[in-house]
């Protein structure tokens, strides 16, 4: 009986500590996009970005919203919505804010119907295939992206899709991509580590 009580107390303490960690984590987040203003972003490319009902939607030609400043180690939260044929992504640690590519950034891909599914939704293109296949189309989704030193982690809707190390890039800009289809972003927050 004593062991059972000790286990119960440990469970309660663990739950309380987890809750405290969550509140600390959420209190340290900085909003980069709140669904209403694009003041923290520069536009490159020819995409027509329009604010609508608490989100930004891209259309037309390909392009990016690029953060106004560079970041190195952080946890990034991005909420997005795409249709089935959409090609989008979240590019991190981009070296050149005027020339965003999968060669000079880490591209966390959003592309359910990618012809070569190796680097489909949830992957980091040319770095790590997704550990789980998750289709993102026609629903709001949440990326949690950790970039800390050489460690990179991607969590899509609560499921870890990438957990790897790569030291190619150590800092840079963040870019939200419009490629094709319907692409929407409604919340972007960052916690610098």
Mean pLDDT (the chain) is: 90
Classify residue 10: in a domain, yes or no.
no
Answer whether residue 11 shows pLDDT above 70: no
Q: What percent of the chain has pLDDT over 90?
A: 86
Q: Is residue 183 part of a domain?
A: yes
Q: In sequence order, what E strands does 13-103 have? A: 30-33, 41-52, 55-67, 74-82, 87-94
Residue 9 placed within a domain? no
Range of the domain at 186: 32-192
User: Between 18 and 102, where is the model more confident?
Assistant: 102
Residue 20 belongs to some domain of the structure: no
| pTM confidence score | 0.86
Asked whether the CA dihedral 160, 165, 128, 61 is positive or negative, the reply is positive
Residue 102 lies in a domain: yes
For residue 84, give every residue at least 6 positions away whose Cβ sits within 8 Å of its Cβ, in sequence order, or none: 112, 113, 137, 138, 181
Number of domains in the chain: 1
| pLDDT value at residue 7 | 44
Answer whether residue 85 is part of any domain: yes
Query: What are the pLDDT digits (tens) for 70-97?
Result: 999 999 999 999 999 999 999 999 999 9
Q: According to the model, what pLDDT value does residue 6 have?
A: 53
DSSP state of 117: G
Give the residue from 174, 153, 4, 165 showing the smallest Cα distance to 72. Answer: 174
- Please, which residues bridge with residue 178 across strands? 63, 88
Instruction: Collapse the DSSP code of 108 into the 3-class scheme (helix H, G, I; strand E, B; otherwise coil) and give the result.
Output: strand
> Is 12 within the bounds of a domain?
no
- 65 vs 178: CA distance, rounded Å: 8
Domain CATH for 182: 2.60.120.560
Q: Indicate whether 15 belongs to any domain.
A: no
From the list 172, 170, 130, 133, the residue with the least C-alpha distance to 151 is: 170
**Percentage, residues of the chain above pLDDT 70:** 86
- CA pair distance 184, 86, nearest whole angstrom: 10
| pLDDT value for 151 | 98
């Amino acid at each position: 009986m004593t062991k059972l009580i000790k286990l119960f107390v440990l469970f309660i303490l663990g739950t309380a500590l987890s809750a405290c960690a969550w509140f600390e984590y959420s209190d340290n987040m900085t909003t980069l996009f709140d669904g209403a203003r694009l003041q923290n972003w520069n536009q490159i490319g020819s995409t027509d970005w329009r604010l609508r009902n608490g989100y930004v939607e891209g259309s037309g030609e390909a392009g990016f919203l690029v953060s106004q400043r560079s970041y190195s180690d952080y946890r990034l939260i991005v909420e997005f919505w795409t249709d089935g044929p959409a090609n989008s992504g979240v590019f991190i640690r981009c070296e050149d804010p005027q020339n965003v590519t999968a060669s000079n950034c880490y591209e966390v891909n959003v592309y359910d119907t990618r012809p070569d599914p190796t680097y489909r939704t949830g992957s980091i293109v040319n770095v790590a295939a997704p550990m789980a296949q998750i289709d993102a189309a026609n629903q709001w989704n949440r990326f949690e992206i950790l970039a800390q030193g050489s460690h990179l982690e991607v969590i899509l809707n609560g499921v870890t899709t990438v957990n790897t190390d790569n030291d190619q890039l150590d800092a840079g800009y963040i870019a939200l991509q419009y490629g094709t289809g319907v692409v929407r972003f409604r919340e972007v927050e960052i916690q610098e580590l």
